[in-house]
Structure 1
Amino acid sequence: MGTTGTRQAYEFPTGCAPPLGQIRAWLREQLSETGRITIADTELLTTELVTNAHEHADGAAELRVFLPSGRDVVRVEVDDRRPHLRPCRPAKPDPTSPHGRGLALVEAISTEWGVDTGEGYKTVWAEIPVL
């Protein structure tokens, strides 16, 4: 990734499903200086966050990824425009349901994750260890 600490942003096309293949390719490009495991974990976690924004919050507005200075993590931030809808800590998923495992994956892969809100937006973020 260019400069440590520099946030690289991915802008989403409006009115369509998120192009997950393009997002994964963009992430690989941004994280080319990290290891394969870090890239794979970041791809999986990011597609979960983007998919959640698409399915539950009228789509993702922006995706940012960066390596915070002085820390061994990749930070992913996904913005949407539905601040009143906040994801909650995952409960035990229903084994018969095809849904309900995304945030459990985020929690398992990340060292930490959370939600920040502001006027007209919400950011769901997660940090993935650099391995």
Structure 2
Amino acid sequence: MGTTGTRQAFEFPTDSAPPLGEVRAWLRDQLSEVGRITIADTELLTTELVTNAHEHADGVAELRVFQPSGRDVVRVEVDDRRPHLRPRKVTKQDPASPHGRGLALVEAISTEWGVDTGAGHKTVWAEIPVL
């Protein structure tokens, strides 16, 4: 990743569905120095986090991706403006339900994930191992 330690942000259009194809292309560009497995996992995880923010928190305020200095992970951060809405703990889902697998997927792919809140915003973050 040419941007080790530097946070690169993707700008989202307002009042429309997130352009997931553009997000994935942007991620591939940002992650050009990591392996294909890491890129694929980051694309999948980021798509889930962005979709959750769009569906449950009135959209994405900002998406950032970077590789923290001295660590073999890629960190994805998705901000929204609904700090009072926190992701629910991953629980066993009804296999017949078409929803409810996003955070289970995030938990399975990431080495760690969490939620930070601040004045008027929430950041859902996850770290993906660099393979």
CA distance in 2, matches of 1:30, 1:3: 7
1:59 has 2:33 as partner: no
1:28 has 2:18 as partner: no
| Unmatched runs of 5 consecutive residues or more in structure 1 | none
| Unmatched runs of 5 consecutive residues or more in structure 2 | none
CA distance in 1, matches of 2:66, 2:16: 25
**Alignment length, in residue pairs?**
131
User: Does structure 1 retain, via aligned residues, the 8 Å contact 2:77–2:125?
Assistant: yes
The percent of aligned pairs where both chains have the same amino acid is 87
Q: CA RMSD in A?
A: 0.6
CA distance in 2, matches of 1:66, 1:3: 6
Indicate the residue corresponding to 1:75 in structure 2: 75
1:39 has 2:39 as partner: yes
Indicate the residue corresponding to 1:130 in structure 2: 130
User: Does structure 1 retain, via aligned residues, the 8 Å contact 2:62–2:78?
Assistant: yes
The normalised TM-score by structure 1 is 0.99
The normalised TM-score by structure 2 is 0.99
Indicate the residue corresponding to 2:13 in structure 1: 13
Moved over 2 A (4+): none
